[in-house]
Amino acid sequence: MDNSLNEKEIQKRVRREAIKRNWLLFRQSTLGMIGICIIFFFFILAILQPILFMTGVWDEGVYHPVVGYEELKVNLLVVECPDEYPTQKYESVGDCPGDGEITQRQIYNPNINPQVGDIHESLLQPSPPSSRHLLGTDSLGRDIFSQIMEGSQVAFILGLMSAIIGVSISTLLGTIAAFYGGRVDAYLMRQSDLVLMLPSLPFLFIVSAFAELKIWHLAVVLGVIGGLGGSVITIKSQALQVKVKPFVDSARITGGSNMKIIFSHILPNVAPLALLFMVFSVTGAIASESTLSFLGLLNIEMSWGIMIYLSQTDGYIFSGMAYWWLILPAGLAVTFLSGGFYLVGRGLDDVFNPRLRKR
Amino acid sequence: MSKTVLKVDKLNMHYETLAGNVSAVRDVSFELKEGQSFGLVGESGCGKTSVAMSLLQLQADNAKISSGSIKLDGDEIVTKSEKELRKIRWKGISIVFQGAMNSWNPVVKIGEQIREAIREHFPNTTKIENTEKIQKLFDIVGLDHSIMERFPHELSGGMKQRAVIALALSCDPKVLIADEPTTALDVVIQDQILKEISKVQELLGLSLIYISHDIAVIAEMTSNMAVMYAGSIVEMGKTSEIFSNPKHAYTKLLLESTPSIVGEKKKLRSLDGEPPSLIGDIKGCTFSPRCPDPSDHCKNQTLEMKLIEVEKDHFVDQCCVKCV
Amino acid sequence: MPKNVIEIKNLEKYFEVNAGFLNRKKSIVKAVDNISFNIPIGESLGLVGQSGCGKTTTARTLCLLDQKTNGEVNYYNTETKEMENIDNLNDSELKKFRSNIQMIFQDPYESLNPRWTIKDIILEPLNIHNIGSLGDREEAVKEILTTVGLTPPENYMPRYPHELSGGQRQRVSIARTLIMKPKFVVCDEPTSMLDVSIRISIMDLMLNLAKDLEVSYLYITHDLAVARYMCNRIAVMFNGKIVEIAETEELLKNPVHPYTKRLISSIPVPDPQYERKEYDLNFDELDEIISNNPDTDMVDIGTDHFVATHDVKDILF
C-alpha cells in the first residue's frame, strides 16, 4: 500500500512538473500570450450572454440577438429645404436636412401628413451606441453587443468542431499512409492532392445549393475538406519520422500487432503536430464562416458573418463611418479571434519545436 | 625551453538557462607550447567542447565567460571585439569541429568553400595563388586535387573530414584544435586521419589541442594531456607520466575502465552514478560523490578544487593529493 | 537436446536500388552475402565490422524486422525444445518466436517511447503475450528493475524516459528485453552512445544476466576491444561477407585474413609506450578479388578458426 501511494505521488508530481515546464516555455513567447488573452476575452464574451440573460440583468425581449427588439424613437423637426444655397441655416445642398431634422418628402407614410414645422416621431434604427445599447442597434432594433456575443459562441463552436473533425481525419489518414506505405500511401496522397486542387469556396457554394448548411453541417463539411487536404501530407511525414525510430522496432520485436503500434506508439508522438494543426485550422474555419455568411449561403440565425451580410443587404456597408457600429465590431471580432488562435499556434510551435526556442 | 603559444588562466564560463546558471568551465588553466600536442580528455558534458568554443570565442548566445584570461602569443582574446576576433579565427587558432564533415555547404564546391575562407583573411591574393595553396594542403592531407571541383555529397566521410582539416589549415594557423574529429568514422579511416593529423603537425610545426573521450587516441596522439571532470581539470601532465602514474581517482577509473585488445584480458572497473548537476554554487570536489574510495575530507567537502604540482610537470587536484 | 541457440546457413539479404531516369536502372546491393554461423547455447558471438558492412542488416533479418532474401535460419524454441525454421511462421508461432528472440538497440534516447512511463514500457511485452495476472505483471516489473540496478523500482516506474540518463535508459531497455526470458538477444552496439566510464557497468550487467538467465548474445559492434570483453567468439564482416570467425583470443593473436589484420592494426591502444604494428591494405584490390571470387567457402585452419579464402589462397596469404 505504501509503495503504490508513493508511485501515485511521484506520478502526480511528474505530471505537474511537465505542465509547469511547458507553461513556462509557452509564457516566453509574447505572441502566444497575446493570443491566449484574445481568446480568453472572446470566451468571456461567449459565456457572458447566457449569464446576463439568466440573471435577469438583460431583458430577453430587448437584448436577444435575433428576436430582441427595442423601439427607440427620436423626435425630428420637419423642414423644407430651400432651392438656393447658402442660406442662414444651411451652407450647401448636403447640409439640408441637418441633425434632428427631416424633410417632408423623406417621410414615407401616406397615413400621416406632416407639415413643415411639425415634430415627427421617427424610429431610430439603426441607432448609434448609447447607454442602453453599448454598441448600438442594427436596422431591426437588435442589440449589436448581444449579437457579437452570440457570434462569439458560434465562432467557438464552429471553429473547434471543424478543427477537431479535420484533425482527427488527417491524423488518422496521415499515420495510416506512413505506416503501410505502398498502394495505400499512393492512394491517400493522390486523394490529398485532389482535395488541395479543389477551389474550396466554389465547392462550398455547390454544397450549399444541395444541403441546408446549419452550424453543425458546416462544421462537418469544413472539417472533412480540411482533414482530407494538405495536412495529411505533413502529418504523414511526421509519422514517417516516428516510424523509423528504434522504439517502434522494439515494439514490433516484442510482438506488437500493427494496430497496437499505430495507436499506442505512433499516434501519441504525432499528437503535438496534430494539436498545432488544429489550432491553425480554427483560424481558417472562422474566416470561412464569415465569408460564406457574407455571401448569404448559410442558414445560421446569427453570427459575425451574418452581421456583415445584413449590413450589406441593408445598404449600410458603403456608408463610411456614418454607421460604423454595424460593420466594425463584427469585422474586428473575426479578425481578432482568428488572429488570436493563430498566435496561440505560434506560441505552441515554440513549445513543441525545441530548435525554435530562445533557450 | 620552447615558447608558450597559448595560455589559459583560470577560465570560468557558464550558460544562462531557464533553470539557472550552469557552470560549464570552472577555473581551467593550461599552457600550450609551440609544436606541442595537448590532449583534453573527459566524458560528454565535462566541458571540453565549451573550452574549445571559448578559445575561439564561438560560444552560444547564452554562454558567458565570467572570469579568466586566454592569451594567444601574449595577446588577450577574451576582451577583444568581434571585428578583432574575426582576424584571429582561422589565422591564429583554427578548429576541426565534431561532425564538421557535415558542415559543408551542399550546393557549393569544396574548393570554392576553402577559397572563401582564404579570401576572408588574405583578401589580396589571386585565385591562382589560392588554388595552388589548396592543392598543397590537399597533398598534405592525402586528397586528390580533383576533389576541389566536387560537391560535398560526392565524397565519403573520410574524404570530407580530410577536406575539413585542409580547410582548418588554409590560413596557416598557429594552433589547431581538433574536437573529436573522428567520431562517426570507421576505425580504419580513423587510423588514417590520425596519421594525417600527426603528419601535418610535424610538417607545419603546429601546436595541436586534441579533444576526445577516447583515452586510447589521446595516448597515441598527444605528448601532454589534461583530464577534465564536471568542468574542472582534475589531473594534468605528460601523457606517458599520467598513464603510468595516475594520481587522481577519476583518472585511475578512466584508465581501468577502458577495454583493450592487447595484453591480458582483465576485469575492468566501472563508475556508478551520474555527473553532478552544475547549476548554481558548487562546493568542494565534484568527483567525491562517485569516488569508490573516499576519505573523510572528501565526504565532508571541505577542500576547494585546486591543482597542485605533485611532481615535475604533473598536476593533480588537491583533494586527491590529500588522500594519497 | 540441440546444442545451438541459433543456426544460420547461407543467409542473404539483397536490396534493389532504383536509379536512372524513370527508375529504369535497377542494381542490386548485397547487404548480407551468403553468411553462415552457429551460436552454441550459453555462448556469445561478436559481429565486428565497419558501418555498412551488413551487421545491422543481419540483425534485423534474424529478428524478422526485415524479410530475408535467401537462406536458412533455425532458432531454438524453448517450448518444443527443438530447432525450428523461421520461414512461414503463422501468427501464434510468430508470437512464440518473438518471445524467444529479442533485440537491444544502440540509441538510448530513441529506443524508448518518449510518451510512455517506464512501467508501461517494461509491461508491454507481458501485456502483448498475456503472461500472468495483472498483479503478477507488476511484480515482475519491480523484480526486473531491481535486477538491472534501478532501485528502488517504485521511484523509476512512474517516470518518463527523458528524465533518466543514457545509462539508466539502457538498463530499462535491457529490463524490457529480458523480462520475457528469451534465449537469444541481438545487441546492436548498446554501449557506443554511452559515456565511457559507465559502459563497463552496462556490459558487466549484461554478462551477469547472460550467466544467470542462460542467454546468448549476438553482440554487434565496430569496437574489437568491446567484442573481446563480451564474447567467446568473434566473426569479422566485410562488405556483407564473413571473412574470419574464431575464438576471441585466437583471432586477436593470429589473424589470418588481410582485412582482419588491417582492422586489428588500426585500433588505438591506451598505452603511450605501445608501438602499433602497421599493416596496410589496398581496399580496392581486396574489393576486386572478392567480387571476382564470390564463392565464400570458409576454410578451417585448425583450432576452430575459419577464414574466407575467396579461392585465391596464394594471392592473399
- Using the Cβ of C280 and the Cβ atoms of chain B, whether some distance falls under 8 Å is answered with no
CATH 1.10.3720.10 location in chain A = 23-52+143-356
At B291, the pLDDT band (50, 70, 90 cuts) reads confident
Pairing label, strands A119-123, A73-79:
antiparallel
Give the chain C residue whose CA is nearest to the CA of B42.
C196
Residues 223-262 of A with CB under 8 A from C: 245-247, 249-256, 260
- Taking alpha carbons only, the member of A161, A294, A263 closest to residue A221 is A161
From B215, which residue of chain C is nearest by alpha-carbon distance?
Answer: C270
Among residues of chain C, what percentage have pLDDT more than 90?
Answer: 27
What digits encode the pLDDT tens for the residues A156-176? 998 889 999 999 999 999 999
- C154 contacts chain A (CB < 8 A): yes
- The amino acid sitting at A286 is I
The SS3 assignment for C47 reads: strand
CA distance B295 to B322: 9
ipTM of the complex: 0.83
Q: Give Cα C283 to chain centroid, integer Å.
A: 25
pLDDT, position B41: 93
- pLDDT above 90: residue A38: yes
**Cβ-based contacts of C95 with chain A (< 8 Å):** 255
Rounded to whole angstroms, the Cα distance separating C164 from C158 reads 12
- B161 vs B167: CA distance, rounded Å: 10
Are B297 and B319 in contact by the 8 Å Cβ rule? The answer is: yes
Residue A142 burial class via C-beta count within 10 angstroms: exposed 0-12, middle 13-18, buried 19 and up: buried
pLDDT at A72 over 70: yes
Q: How far does C274 lie from chain B, in Å, by closest CA?
A: 8
Shortest Cα distance from C62 to chain A (angstroms)? 11
Please judge whether B265 and C262 are an interchain contact, meaning their C-beta atoms are less than 8 angstroms apart: no
Predicted pLDDT of residue A354: 60
Cα separation, B155 vs B168, in Å, equals: 18
In whole angstroms, give the CA distance from residue B272 to residue C13.
41
Contact pairs from chain B to chain C, CB under 8 Å: 102
C200 vs B186, B257, B260: nearest CB = B257
At B324, is the pLDDT very low, low, confident or very high (cuts 50, 70, 90)? low
d(CA B298, CA A1): 39
Q: Grid coordinates representing B162?
A: 580530410
Inform me whether the C-beta atom of residue C272 falls under 8 Å from chain B C-beta atoms. Answer: yes
Nearest CA in chain C to B273: C198
Chain C neighbours, 3+ Cβ pairs < 8 A: A, B
Cβ of residue C224 closer than 8 Å to a chain B Cβ: yes
d(CA C194, nearest CA chain B) in Å: 9
Chain segment C22-66, per-residue pLDDT in tens: 666 677 888 888 899 999 988 999 999 887 788 889 999 988 888
**3-state class of A15 per DSSP?**
helix
**In terms of CA atoms, which chain A residue is nearest residue C188?**
A246
How confident is the model at residue C104, as a pLDDT?
93
Contacts of A7 in chain C (CB under 8 A): 154, 157-158
What 3-state DSSP class applies to B104? coil
**Does residue A358 carry a pLDDT above 50?**
no
Binary contact (C110, A247; C-beta < 8 A): yes
Which residues in chain A touch residue B61, judged by CB atoms under 8 angstroms apart? 359
Per-residue pLDDT averaged across A285-298, rounded? 84
Residue among A7, A252, A255 minimizing CB distance to C154: A7
CB distance from C127 to chain A under 8 Å? Answer: no
Query: What angle is formed at CA C65 by the lines to CA C83 and CA C61, rounded to 5 degrees?
Result: 55
Q: Which domains does chain B have, with CATH numbers?
A: 4-92+171-261+268-323 (3.40.50.300)
Residue C248 has pLDDT above 70, yes or no: yes
Looking at residue B274, its pLDDT comes to 76
Q: Which residues of B touch C (CB under 8 A)?
A: 43-44, 186-188, 190-191, 194, 213-217, 219-220, 239-240, 243, 253-255, 257-262, 265, 268-272, 274
Residues of chain C positioned with their CB less than 8 A from the CB of A254 = 98, 102, 124-125, 128, 176, 180
| Chain B residue numbers touching A359 (CB-CB < 8 A) | 16-18, 60-62
A250–C63: do the CB atoms touch at under 8 Å? Answer: no
With contact defined as beta carbons under 8 Å apart, do A22 and A340 qualify? Answer: no
> What predicted TM-score, i.e. pTM, was given to this entire model?
0.81
> Taking 70 as the threshold, does the pLDDT of residue A82 lie above it?
yes
Nearest Cα neighbor of C295 from C241, C258, C257 is C241
How many residues are recorded in chain A? 359
The x, y and z cell numbers of residue A69, run together, are 427588439
Instruction: Tell me how many degrees the CA angle C5-A256-A8 measures, rounded to the nearest 5.
Output: 110
For chain A, the 3-state helix, strand and coil shares in percent, each to the nearest 5, are: 65, 5, 30
Domains in chain C with CATH codes: 4-239 (3.40.50.300), 240-317 (no CATH)
List helix spans (H) across A229-358.
Answer: 231-243, 246-254, 258-260, 267-294, 304-313, 328-352
Mean of the pLDDT values across residues C260-268?
Answer: 90
pLDDT tens by residue, B174-184 = 899 999 888 77
What average pLDDT does the segment B113-129 reach? 88
Partners of residue C222 in chain B, C-beta under 8 Å: 186-187
**DSSP code for C78:** T
* pLDDT-wise least confident of A94-98, A274-278, B211-215: A94-98
Q: What residue spans of chain B are helical by DSSP H?
A: 48-55, 82-88, 110-121, 127-141, 157-169, 187-204, 215-221, 239-244, 249-256, 296-300, 318-323
Contacts with A260 from chain C: Cβ below 8 Å: 128
Contact criterion met (CB below 8 Å) for C288 and C282: no
Minimum Cα–Cα distance from B189: chain C residue = C266
Using the Cβ of C112 and the Cβ atoms of chain B, whether some distance falls under 8 Å is answered with: no
Contact C240, C32 (CB under 8 A): yes
Residue identified by cell 567468439 is C233
- Say which amino acid occupies A285: A
Q: Which of B246, C188, B85, B138 is nearest to A249 (CA)?
A: C188
H or E element in which residue C291 lies: helix C283-292
Query: What percent of chain A has pLDDT above 70?
Result: 95
Q: Please state the rounded mean pLDDT for residues A262-289.
A: 87
Q: What is the pLDDT of residue A175?
A: 93
Tell me, what's the pLDDT at A271? Answer: 87
Going by pLDDT thresholds of 50, 70 and 90, the confidence category of residue C312 is low
> What gap in Å lies between CA B274 and CA A170, rounded to an integer?
43
Would you state the cell numbers that stand for residue B245, as one nine-digit string?
602514474
Mean pLDDT of chain B: 86
d(CA C125, CA C128): 5
Residues of B with CB under 8 A from a CB of A: 16-18, 60-62
**C271, B271: Cβ pair inside 8 Å?**
no
Percentage of the residues of chain C whose pLDDT score is greater than 70: 95
Give the nearest chain C residue to A244 (CA atoms): C110
Shortest Cα–Cα distance, B133 to chain C (Å): 29
pLDDT at C278: 81
Give the CA angle between residues C151, C157, C162 to the nearest 5°. Answer: 100
Give yes or no for C24 touching A (CB within 8 A): no
Query: Taking the domain A23-52+143-356, which CATH number applies?
Result: 1.10.3720.10
Distance CA A332, CA A290 (A): 12
Neighbouring subunits of A (3+ Cβ pairs under 8 A): B, C
Residue in the block written with cell 509503495: A3
Lookup: cell for B115: 577559397
Is C155 in Cβ contact with A268 (below 8 Å)? no
Out of A7, A245, A260, closest to residue C157 by CB: A7
Taking contacts as CB-CB distances below 8 angstroms, the residues of chain A near C94 are 255
User: Can you tell me the distance from the alpha carbon of C121 to that of C114, in angstroms, rounded to the nearest whole number?
Assistant: 10
A13, A14, A21, A253: best to mutate for the C interface, most C CBs within 10 A? A253
**A269 to chain C: nearest residue by CA?**
C115
Q: pLDDT grade, residue A1 (50/70/90)?
A: very low
Residue of C195, C197, C205, C267 to mutate when probing chain B, most B C-beta within 10 A: C197
How far apart are the C-alpha atoms of B309 and B321, rounded to whole Å?
10
Chain B partners within 8 Å of C221 (Cβ): none
Measured CA distances, B289 to B276, B284, B293, C45 (Å): 9, 11, 10, 37
| Per-residue model confidence as pLDDT tens digits over B228-239 | 998 899 999 999
